[in-house]
Chain A
Amino acid sequence: MKRSHLIFWQLLVAVAIFAIWHAVATWPILADPKKVQFFFSTPLAVMARVYEFFASGSIWRHLWITLSETLLAFVIGSLGGIAAGFWLARNPRVSAVLDPYVKMLNALPRVVLAPIFMLWFGLGIWSKVALGVTLVFFIVFFAVYQGVKEVSQTILANARMLGMNDRQLFRHVYWPSALSWMFSSLHASVGFALVGAVVGEYMGSAAGLGYVIHEAESTFDVTGVFAGMVVLSAFVIFIDWMVTLAENRLLAWRPQAGERAT
């Protein structure tokens, strides 16, 4: 499909959803419009609220807070994941000993950690960052671990025959391989950094998109909830788009889907 066609169809889906939403909230098609409006608000009211967010400028502070929490969680979680991934992949014995604990920690639902983090790090951004870090860390950790473990034995043997020492093997073979695995999970890890931030804000804070949505919910302001979700979705798409740009630059050596694989 051509790009312009694709965008046309994508927009059409959005328009259709808004049209149906608007219709059910205006005419008694499925239920009494008053009731529908109470539970779902109306698209025009939601758009007006979003406009108000930006017109009054009140949303920028929240966006900025959520963005910084997301970025901090991503960077700290990634650094930790890379270090731990390399360390365990290169030390099979340590890895075997720690294996059940890693699995245990990873299986833990992070939401239960949120209150503890608030106790430890306060209600400011750091408790949200910590929540995001616990999510990002494991994704990056498993990716890097895999990347180091799954380096092709032939590439490794070839590099050693070329005369590479351990440090050079790390730089020219292990590192790029681990990085490519990490980037393949980049969308997921950035996404989870954001989830950590928003969930943390939702559970207790004084700023951020999660806080905005939570505030609206506590006063049954459905329009506010939907407006918050619209801003959040737009924010997610923006971040995902930035990740795609970064990916295209960093993974130029990879075959694109559809290119022949020889």
Chain B
Amino acid sequence: MPAVRLAGIEVSFGEGTTRFVAVSGVDLSVAAGEFVAIVGPTGCGKSTLLNVIGGLLNASAGAAFVEGQAVRGISKPCGYLFQADALMPWKTALANVAVALEITGIGRSEAERQARAFLARVGLARFGDRYPHQLSGGQKKRVALAQMLIRDPRILLMDEPFGPLDAQTRVLMGDLLLKLWQQDRKAVLFVTHDLDEAIALADRVVVMSAGPQSRIIAQHRVDLPRPREAAEIRLDPAFHVLQKAIWNDLRAEVMRAYGDEFAAIGGKP
């Protein structure tokens, strides 16, 4: 039984003449313990798909299954790392992580003890007392990561988790994520716009077409050895072959998504 299965998913926004079909006819299945990266031009509906799987958004057609169950309401087995900042600004880093356990009925002191351990795992042992506005972008993402992981969800939905970070920090965060994932391989759906990141992390890279009515246009298996280290894996010749192949699929779509803008500045789409 796959961890996640999407069958003919279509999502539309608005009604009547303003109806906008973001994604259409998306079939995808993620095996338990599989790390799948989704790449695609901006606005193609990557976040939309994750929202459908997480149960935050209803598909207008098709069916979504999480661990074999049709999605209805919030998908309990899923942890979700959002593209935008989602920490509660009125709670310290420690409280933000601990609250994920407290709401399951675990006592405050025990929750905080475990939260401290998780903050240490993401390298923030000394930052527990800080409020989100006192943390850097990368530190906030790591707190959010700890907040998601502490509940031990079986499926991870990650939406450009390292999006706003600089290239070096992204690589370090990627390595951290792989290290944590290696310990108890969960199913992961990882959205990114960074091809290198997708290949370095994933078992499979899914390419989506430009919207509207975006669909999956290609899938590439990544047969690079694990455990991986981002800096080294990038030197592997197989990495470059993959990179080229995926970019071939993606380029036309990115051009299409930016078509109007390219035309506007006199470039050739």
Contact = CB atoms under 8 A, between A and B. Distances in A.
B210 to A, nearest CB: 25
B222 interface: no
A161 B78 contact: yes
A71 interface: no
Contact of B103 (A158, A164, A180, A254): A164
B35 interface: no
A147 to B, nearest CB: 11
Contact of A162 (B90, B103, B131, B133): B103
Contacts of A259: 133
B49 to A, nearest CB: 15
Nearest to B147: A162
Interface in A42-100: none
Nearest to A261: B133
Given A161-B56, A262-B136, A253 B103 contact: no
Nearest to A255: B133
A168 interface: yes
A236 interface: no
A24 interface: no
Interface string A167-182: 0100011001100100
B80, B86, B91, B132: residue with the most chain A Cβ atoms closer than 10 Å: B86
Interface of A: 152, 154-155, 157-165, 168, 172-173, 176-177, 180, 252-255, 259, 261-262
Contact of B74 (A161, A253, A255, A261): A161
B74 A163 contact: yes
A212 B7 CA distance: 78
B88 A155 contact: yes
A157 B56 contact: yes
Given A152-B86, A254-B89, A255-B134, 12 more contacts: A155-B88, A157-B56, A160-B74, A161-B78, A162-B100, A162-B103, A162-B151, A164-B103, A172-B88, A253-B90, A253-B92, A253-B132
Contacts of A262: 133, 135-137
B18 interface: no
A158 B74 CA distance: 11
A163 B91 contact: no
B85 interface: yes
Question: What 4 pairs across the A-B complex have the smallest Cβ distances?
Answer: A158-B86, A176-B90, A161-B80, A255-B133
B interface secondary structure, majority: loop
Nearest to B133: A255
B82 A253 contact: no
A180 B136 CA distance: 23
Contacts of B74: 160-161, 163
Nearest to B83: A154
A157 B57 CA distance: 10
A259 B130 CA distance: 14
A154 B84 contact: yes
Contacts of A152: 86
A262 B56 CA distance: 27
A253 B76 contact: no
A154 to B, nearest CB: 5
Contacts of A172: 88, 91, 99, 103
A253 B91 contact: yes
Contacts of B41: none
Given A163-B76, A262-B133, A180 B104 contact: no
A173 B131 contact: no
B104 A163 contact: yes
A119 to B, nearest CB: 44
A123 to B, nearest CB: 44
Contact of A168 (B82, B90, B103, B131): B103
Contacts of B80: 157-158, 161
